Amino acid sequence: METLERTQTRIGLTEVDRAKVGTLIRASHRHVMDLETVLPWADGIDFSRNPKLETGSWIYGTEYWDALTPEQRNELLWKEVARDVSMFIWLEQSLPPLYMNYANQEPFGMLPEVYEYLMIFSREEITHTLMFRRYLDLAKLPLFDPPRGAYAQFTRQLPEMHPVLGILSTLMLEWVAELNAIYLTQGRDNEPLTRKMFHEHHIEEVRHIAFGKRVVEYFFENGPAEVIDRIRGSFAPLYQNLKNEVTYNRDIARHTSFKFPIAEDDDAAVERIRQSENNRRMNGERFAEVDTWFAKLGIL
Ligand SMILES: [Fe+2]
Ligand SMILES: [Fe+2]
């Protein structure tokens, strides 16, 4: 049988960052999300309200939006939120096995703060996944299919790759998804249970994002140059693909009760909508900090 080696950790942190991850750990233990009480489930959902900003609809500002009735617009906003919630479910239920596996691969080498935070991270994502599924059930909203394309492929390959790649992929996805959700759902007029759900989620995700940034920045300063070069080469298209799918997701055509005006396979229309003036404005506003951070790492 092979001897377990006391190897140098593959997930490094500076001394200062180890102390900061300690702070994240204490914050998580002080307040553990409880599924029963995190949201006022018994109050139900007010469907007469919009779950997100009307101007944040994927097709707002196009002739397709203008042609919809008020009821169809309201339904579309709910279905768009269902897609965003579905993306959280598919991503977040894939994280605990990925992160636990990193811990098992390095039985002795892992920094204790990294070990503990990967455990906490996993536990928090399990609760989030259950919260999002309960929300879809309560709202009678559909669970969309898992995201496809480069992202889906990448998710399947991650367990075989360096842990920093998994942490960077997770960071990219949850940071974009968080900025999107908070940008769209926190207005005073938005449906209250939906607004609170994304807010409660955000409190824990802010810590996940802080952890991911520290791990990745350390690796880019200290890791092997050829691995970092490969990451630089491969992440720009993944990030673009992710933004495209968040900006407009063609699966929506399967989920509206009315005939959706844009066919799923109409690539030209999909591309035109993703490039609409309203979508370019929103992407510039909501994703600016990810763009800047990626540029700093040489990924864009
Ligand atoms: Fe989460
Ligand atoms: Fe997270």
**259 occurs within a structural domain:** yes
**15 occurs within a structural domain:** no
Angle at 227 between CA 159 and CA 111, to 5 degrees: 60
**Per-residue pLDDT tens over the stretch 141-174:** 999 999 876 667 667 788 888 899 999 999 999 9
**98 occurs within a structural domain:** yes
Most confident of 7-21, 63-77, 138-152: 63-77
What does the DSSP 8-state code read for residue 159? G
> How far, in Å, from the CA of 22 to the mean position of ligand 1?
19
> How far, in Å, from the CA of 92 to the mean position of ligand 1?
6
Q: Phi/psi at 136 (nearest 5 deg)? A: -60, -40
The domain in which residue 167 lies consists of 55-296
Ligand closest to CA 206: 2
Ligand closest to CA 126: 1
Give the chain's domain count. 1
**45 occurs within a structural domain:** no
The type of residue at 257 is S
Distance between CA 274 and CA 280 in Å, rounded? 8
**29 occurs within a structural domain:** no
Task: Decide if 150 contacts 11 (C-beta within 8 A).
Answer: no
**27 occurs within a structural domain:** no
**Per-residue pLDDT tens over the stretch 105-142:** 988 889 999 999 999 999 999 999 999 999 999 999 99
What band does 77 get if pLDDT is binned at 50, 70 and 90? very high
**47 occurs within a structural domain:** no
> Computed from CA positions of residues 173, 175, 176, 180, in that sequence, does the dihedral angle turn out positive or negative?
positive
Ligand closest to CA 131: 1
The type of residue at 298 is G
**Per-residue pLDDT tens over the stretch 270-297:** 999 999 999 999 999 999 999 999 999 9
Domain CATH code at residue 257:
1.20.1260.10
Report the range of poorest mean pLDDT among 3-12, 14-23, 32-41, 92-101.
3-12
**22 occurs within a structural domain:** no
